[in-house]
Amino acid sequence: MESVFLLWHVHRFRDSDDEDEKLIGVYRIRSDAEAAILRVREKPGFSGQPEGFQISEYPLNKDHWTEGFVEA
């Protein structure tokens, strides 16, 4: 099955449980996502939390959210 790799940065705020997620990009191969980390890791915001980078593999042509949701 074909997959793509999503590169996220999750910023956790000090003294809080809040976090801010940013989708940096979607890549065909993991090494391209890893190269993107090298390109952006020194930029403002990212450089303060270098541990915030996450690469997630997502299979194509598959439902990923199947449970529905509750409206607020």
Q: Where are the domains of the chain?
A: 3-59
User: In Å, what is the CA distance from 15 to each residue of 9, 18, 67?
Assistant: 19, 9, 32
Q: List the 53-59 sheet strands across, edge first.
A: 19-27, 3-12, 53-59
According to the model, what pLDDT value does residue 13 have?
A: 78
According to the model, what pLDDT value does residue 66 have?
A: 92
Report the percentage of the chain scoring pLDDT > 90. 72
According to the model, what pLDDT value does residue 19 have?
A: 80
pLDDT-flagged residues of the chain (< 50): none
According to the model, what pLDDT value does residue 31 have?
A: 98
According to the model, what pLDDT value does residue 16 have?
A: 76
According to the model, what pLDDT value does residue 11 have?
A: 86
The backbone torsions φ and ψ at residue 57, rounded to the nearest 5 degrees and listed phi first, read -90, 130
